[in-house]
Amino acid sequence: MNLKMMTDRSTGDHSASVATPIYSQTFRVRINEIDPHKRATCAALSNWMMEAASVHADLLGVSTTSLHGMGAAWALTRLVMELDDMPLSEQETLLRTWPTSLERLQFRRDFCLYSLDQRVLARAVSFWVNMDLQSRKVLRLPQEYKNLVSDTAEHAMEVEKSILSRLTLPETFSPDTGPGNLGHPVLPEDLPVARLAGQARILVRRSDLDVNRHVNTVRYMEWLLESVPQSIWEGFRLRRVEVACRAEVFGGTAVSRCIACKLPDSLPGDAGFVSSVMAEEDGGEREVLRALMYWQPVTKL
């Protein structure tokens, strides 16, 4: 894939034509973007991706500002990330992004993160919809969006149909919600039973909101990392994450539970989790996001 467009976030210097199908931007891993192993977190990568996608959308004529002028906005519905070799603190990276297809009501955008010597560090696939800002309902994508996708667009990675919709978490868990206590989701027979491993309670702040006045993707990623046990955070490294956004969360909302249920290991020593973000609503709870996370011990990498 040829480098078509490049900018550095420290300078904001752009050099490209609006019609360029691939956008590239360099990012240096900052000290506040790393995990205990001094590598960039998935939240940091998410932030870079959202920034690059926003700039590219502007260059392609479908920016947040232009959509707002029509009473609409971009909204992320699904994100899949493969974290092959996340960059270390202060490392320079190159992030490339490009539209790949229109799939029903969704617009697919792919990402690939490289080291400066062109090694692949991470890959991601995202799916977006246009949302009506008044009704908050999904809109049909304009046919003109097809012109934004190159006929030769490659996929950063192949993604299968998500199993997240097939998982049903329990309405309540044991009152003792410490790590290791059982909480059994209702799962199809061919999927393993999960158990509660960690939990966090969060109050949505103004700083958690984006221009659409709902919680942004980066905050969700940070919350998911809060939900896993400390032993996982310190002794493992995240290798894959899949997120399905189910509803919006607005300012002042209490996120009653951000839970992580451990799945039986797919490989010896690995740790898989299905996580859920639950928001308080009308005296009850509503699930607003669900995710799958797969971790590997640091010693295996």
Quote the pLDDT of residue 199.
62
Q: Give CA separation, 124 vs 80, 102, 271, in Å.
A: 5, 16, 21
Cα 282–chain centre separation: 27
Domain boundaries, the chain: 6-148, 164-300
* CATH class assigned to 164-300: alpha beta
CA–CA separation, 265 vs 41, rounded Å?
Answer: 22
Q: DSSP class of residue 73?
A: E
CB-based contact 27:93 (threshold 8 Å)? yes
- Each residue's pLDDT tens digit, 121-145: 999 999 999 989 889 899 999 888 8
pLDDT for 187-239, tens place per residue?
A: 333 334 344 555 666 777 777 777 777 878 888 888 888 888 888 899 999 99
Question: How do residues 234-273 score in pLDDT, each as one tens digit?
Answer: 999 999 999 988 777 777 776 756 677 776 655 556 788 8
Q: Mean pLDDT in the chain? A: 78
Return the number of other C-beta atoms located less than 10 Å from residue 72's C-beta: 18
CATH fold match for the domains 6-148 and 164-300: yes
Task: Tell me how far apart the alpha carbons of residues 272 and 239 are, in angstroms, rounded to a whole number.
Answer: 10
pLDDT at 267: 56
Closest CA to 109 of 156, 46, 176, 142: 156
Superfamily covering domain 6-148: Hotdog Thioesterase (3.10.129.10)
pLDDT at position 119: 97
**Cα four-point dihedral sign 227, 301, 292, 30:** positive
Distance CA 227, CA 230 (A): 9
Query: Band of the pLDDT at 154, cuts 50, 70, 90?
Result: confident
